[in-house]
Copies of this chain bind each other. A is one copy, B any other.
């Protein structure tokens, strides 16, 4: 099967949300209707990502279907000699396509895009529970040098 990587389009949103929900950890965080309808917040998020030249939402398409997705953020900063960094977030491969090398091809694509934009560093965080993912990224050359910390803000300002 030929896989093509491309910038996500607005009509990919339901498929992308479907992939985000097609995941043990992510499932409880996403809401998707039985008919594949997605909340307005997802459309607004797509528009914000799409309008920002430093965000690139990618889909991997094969045989007319969205088989994978990831978001790349390109972040300028003063540290490390004024280096740009690329950040990979929300990586998902369709459950029916896992184990076929698509994940590795996606990360290769991300690293290539990071180089093309002059980034000195590619970074990501993965949930501690995804031990398979840690091994996967280490095989691709990533080093587990950092602790990733999160603070969830309550919708009520708590």
> Which A positions have Cβ atoms within 8 angstroms of B?
13, 16-17, 20, 26, 29-31, 39, 41-46, 48-49, 52, 54-55, 57, 71, 73, 75-84, 87, 89-90, 111, 114-115, 119-128, 134, 137-138, 140-153, 155, 157
Taking a contact as CB atoms closer than 8 A, the residue among B71, B83, B149 that contacts A142 in the complex is: B149
Taking a contact as CB atoms closer than 8 A, the residue among B29, B48, B80, B146 that contacts A126 in the complex is: B146
Taking a contact as CB atoms closer than 8 A, the residue among B20, B75, B81, B115 that contacts A153 in the complex is: B115
Give the number of copies in the complex. Answer: 2
The residues of B that contact A76 with a CB separation of less than 8 Å are: 45, 48-49, 52, 55
Taking a contact as CB atoms closer than 8 A, the residue among B57, B82, B119, B155 that contacts A41 in the complex is: B82
Classify the secondary structure of A's interface with B.
mixed
- CB contact under 8 A between A54 and B57, given known A76-B48, A78-B16, A147-B125: no
A41 to B78, CA, bound (A): 8
Closest chain B CB from A127 CB (angstroms): 6
Docked-complex contact A151 and B121, CB < 8 angstroms: yes
The residues of B that contact A145 with a CB separation of less than 8 Å are: 127-128, 148-150
The residues of B that contact A119 with a CB separation of less than 8 Å are: 153
